[in-house]
Amino acid sequence: RRKIIIDTDPGQDDAVAILLALASPEEIDLLGITCVAGNVPLELTERNARTVCELAGRPDVKVFAGCDRPLNRPLVTAEHVHGKTGLDGIDLPAPRMALQPGHGVDFIIDTLRAEPAGCVTLVPIGPLTNIATAFLRAPDIVEKVQAVVLMGGAYFEVGNITPAAEFNIYVDPEAAQVVFNSGVELVVMPLDVTHKALTTRPRVEAFRKLPGAVGPAVAAWTDFFERFDKEKYGSEGAPLHDPCTIGWLLRPELFAGRRINVEIEIEGRYTLGMTVADWWGVSGRAPNALFIGDIDAEGFFALLTERLARL
Ligand code: BDR
Ligand code: CA
């Protein structure tokens, strides 16, 4: 059973990632959720995380608020994709469970210090501000991390917030640079893989038909979230980015990638936040990440549907 901390900015796809983790208690022990500013400001992401836990019938999950802005840039948000609340698509009751006292970054540091080395995996699915802040403030925790399994970046699929950059990396490139250069065991789910995990009609209808409240809520979120991709790119559905991280933890054999060097562009005039991924090994720089490029999407959606049915 892998102990994880999800670091997140919900976000409909973040919400599905949290639900997939909560639906998989045999494999995953969710120690807590730390929230960060990203898709929408922090006040909304921490509220949305609590809403999602309550939807899953899990008001006991520890939810913390973390950093409310990137390390040294103004916050860029994505209401154009996720709506005003960050979780548009269905009206859910306001959460009643309390936010945990204390800062999300302190929770990350304290948890890693308290647990034996190699026992806690960090799963960042928003900008990397909280994780980088923890690494900068407490460098001793880096070698205690089992792995960082994150959603962010792109190679062949290039950008979704600028022509060159993916949103999570673009919002806080300096934070991404800290994490990518930290020496931690890193698994990256870039747009190259998430753009193959599309919410096609039959997949969404399978969610909608699930008994209970969770399946229909996930269908309503994807209905909202996919308008953006359908209108903009004419794709068959929305990429379900963030749940790929949890999918990899549960069934790594559904994914394929390469260990390569990935550097973060923090200066480029047009390329700020780009993940410079040395897929062909031409730089001579040492690999620092397992960069995933492929997914068995049918297998992944079958897993997701089967797990969501348990909630
Ligand atoms: C990432 O950006 C956010 O909008 C999504 O939640 C996902 O984490 C995709 O680029
Ligand atoms: Ca996200």
14 CA: nearest ligand 1 atom:
6
Neighbours of ion ligand 2 (CB under 5 A): 9, 11, 14, 125-126, 242
Residue 231 pLDDT > 80, yes or no?
no
pLDDT digits (tens, 9 = 90+) for 205-214: 999 999 999 9
User: Residue 229 has what pLDDT?
Assistant: 73
Lowest-pLDDT choice from 96-100, 234-238, 255-259? 234-238
Torsional sign, CA 188, 46, 130, 104: negative
Residue 229 Cβ inside 6 Å of ligand 1? The answer reads no
Q: What spacing in Å lies between the alpha carbon of 184 and ligand 2's midpoint?
A: 21
Four-point Cα dihedral 149, 152, 155, 159, nearest 10: 170
- Assign 60 a pLDDT band (cuts: 50, 70, 90): very high
Which pLDDT does position 236 carry in this prediction?
84
- Residue 157's pLDDT is 84
For ligand 1, atom 6, the nearest C-alpha belongs to 11
- Give the closest ligand to the alpha carbon of residue 171: 1
Does 7 contact ligand 1 (Cβ within 6 A)?
Answer: no
pLDDT at residue 57 greater than cutoff 80: yes
- The alpha carbon of 154 and the centre of ligand 2 are apart by a number of angstroms equal to 15
Tokens of 98: 């309390």
DSSP class of 143 = G
Query: Could you tell me if the CB of 78 is within 6 A of ligand 1?
Result: yes
**Residue 241 falls in the annotated catalytic set:** yes
Question: Are the C-beta atoms of residues 127 and 168 closer than 8 Å to each other?
Answer: yes
Q: For residue 134, name the pLDDT band (cuts at 50, 70, 90).
A: very high
User: How far, in Å, CA of 19 to CA of 7, rounded?
Assistant: 14
The single-letter DSSP state of residue 118 is: T
**Cβ(308)–Cβ(210) under 8 Å?**
yes
Residue-wise pLDDT for 89-132, tens only, equals 999 999 999 999 999 999 999 999 999 999 999 999 999 999 99
